[in-house]
């Protein structure tokens, strides 16, 4: 998407927000984008079905022949971040793709032996598609607010790619607490955020000022969970968000394949004395 189109979409959405029609209008815009995408491959180079254009758009903001490759790159970056911390993905028992959409990343674990893979999302249509086409992933629908449909201390790793980028501040801490609940003591959380590299996208003076004060800056908070809602995380805010449940093990500020210019944080769940 070009800068001019981004600016146009932001302007139109801002005008619609004033009359509280932004969410409905954005849904129409996504359907129009799906129609405009035209014919796309039905099967990817990995031999697995490719989700339809509308599901791709709800996940990635666009639909293209590069959808599968982008997910492959993101999966490789997850493995890279884990390897830097001496974590062997194959040695883990259970992994959750939180906000997994229509399996953009999860599909690339099909040939991986060892962990049992789970995924959840608020988009029931995306979850239904995964159940039909990615049978090796245990998929479930979750709501916009906690809890998740899992017992406590179920997972060795939870990753959330571009999920907190679409949540308002009131939802961020409850979800970190919920992810802490389902991760085993000493287990890992990997999240991506919009950080300093995305500052130029914050054109509203009041939002830019919030970010520069080290606060979370959120556009269209009413439309939480959709691509319309955009959250921008100063690095210090992220570290404060993760604490005290998690200890940050490392951060990559943009530049990882499949993550675009998003930052990535790997954290370990704190083990409390019994």
Question: Is the pTM for the entire model greater than 0.75?
Answer: yes
Q: What is the mean pLDDT of residues 6-30?
A: 56
Is-contact 232 199, C-beta < 8 A?
Answer: yes
Q: Round to whole Å and give the CA distance between 164 and 10.
A: 20
Quote the tokens at residue 16: 């619609």
Residue-wise pLDDT tens digits, 95-112: 999 999 999 999 999 999
pLDDT of residue 10: 55
Higher-confidence position of 210 and 7: 210
Helix (H) or strand (E) holding 59: helix 53-60
Residues whose CB falls within 8 Å of the CB of residue 164, separated by 6 or more in sequence, listed in order: 172, 175, 191, 192, 193, 231, 233
| Rounded alpha-carbon distances, angstroms, from residue 49 to 37, 46, 107, 138, 204 | 17, 9, 9, 17, 40
Would you tell me how many other CB atoms lie within 10 Å of the CB of residue 142? 18
220 DSSP assignment:
-
CA 96 from chain centre, in angstroms, equals 12
The confidence band for 65, taking pLDDT boundaries of 50, 70 and 90, is confident
Q: In percent, how much of the chain has pLDDT > 70?
A: 87
The region of weakest confidence among 2-11, 22-31, 37-46, 106-115 is 2-11
Q: Round to whole Å and give the CA distance between 40 and 52.
A: 8
Q: 63-269: which CATH architecture?
A: 3-Layer(aba) Sandwich (3.40)
Q: What is the mean pLDDT of residues 110-125?
A: 96
Q: In percent, how much of the chain has pLDDT > 90?
A: 76
Q: Round to whole Å and give the CA distance between 44 and 110.
A: 13
Considering just the CA atoms, what is the radius of gyration of the chain in Å?
A: 18
pLDDT of residue 7: 54
- Residue 188, SS3? strand
Listed by start position, the domains of the chain span 63-269
Q: Above 50 in pLDDT, residue 67? A: yes
Q: What is the mean pLDDT of residues 49-55?
A: 92
Looking at every residue in the chain, the average pLDDT score rounds to 90
- Residue 222, SS3? helix
pLDDT of residue 162: 96
Residue-wise pLDDT tens digits, 223-246: 999 888 999 999 999 999 999 999
């Amino acid at each position: 998407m070009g800068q001019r189109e981004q600016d146009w979409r932001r302007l139109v959405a801002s005008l619609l927000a004033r009359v509280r029609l932004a969410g409905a209008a954005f849904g129409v815009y996504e359907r129009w984008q799906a129609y405009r995408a035209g014919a796309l491959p039905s099967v990817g180079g990995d031999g697995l079905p490719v989700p339809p254009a509308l599901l791709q758009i709800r996940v990635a903001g666009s639909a293209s022949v590069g959808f599968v490759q982008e997910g492959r790159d993101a999966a490789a970056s997850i493995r890279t971040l884990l390897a830097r911390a001496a974590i062997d993905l194959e040695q883990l028992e259970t992994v959750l793709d939180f906000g997994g959409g229509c399996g953009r990343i999860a599909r690339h674990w099909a040939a991986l032996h060892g962990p049992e893979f789970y995924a959840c999302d608020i988009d029931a249509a995306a979850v239904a598609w995964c159940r039909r086409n990615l049978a090796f992933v245990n998929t479930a629908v979750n709501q916009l607010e906690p809890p998740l449909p899992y017992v406590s201390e179920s997972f060795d790793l939870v990753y959330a790619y571009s999920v907190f980028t679409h949540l308002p501040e009131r939802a961020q801490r409850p979800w970190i607490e919920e992810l802490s609940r389902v991760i085993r003591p000493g287990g890992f959380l990997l999240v991506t955020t919009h950080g300093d590299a995305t500052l130029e996208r914050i054109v509203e003076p009041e939002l830019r000022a919030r970010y520069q004060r080290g606060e979370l800056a959120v556009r269209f908070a009413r439309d939480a969970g959709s691509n319309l809602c955009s959250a921008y995380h100063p690095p210090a805010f992220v570290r404060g968000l993760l604490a005290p449940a998690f200890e940050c093990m490392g951060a990559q500020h943009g530049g990882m394949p499949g993550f675009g210019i998003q930052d990535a944080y790997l954290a370990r769940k704190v083990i409390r004395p019994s």
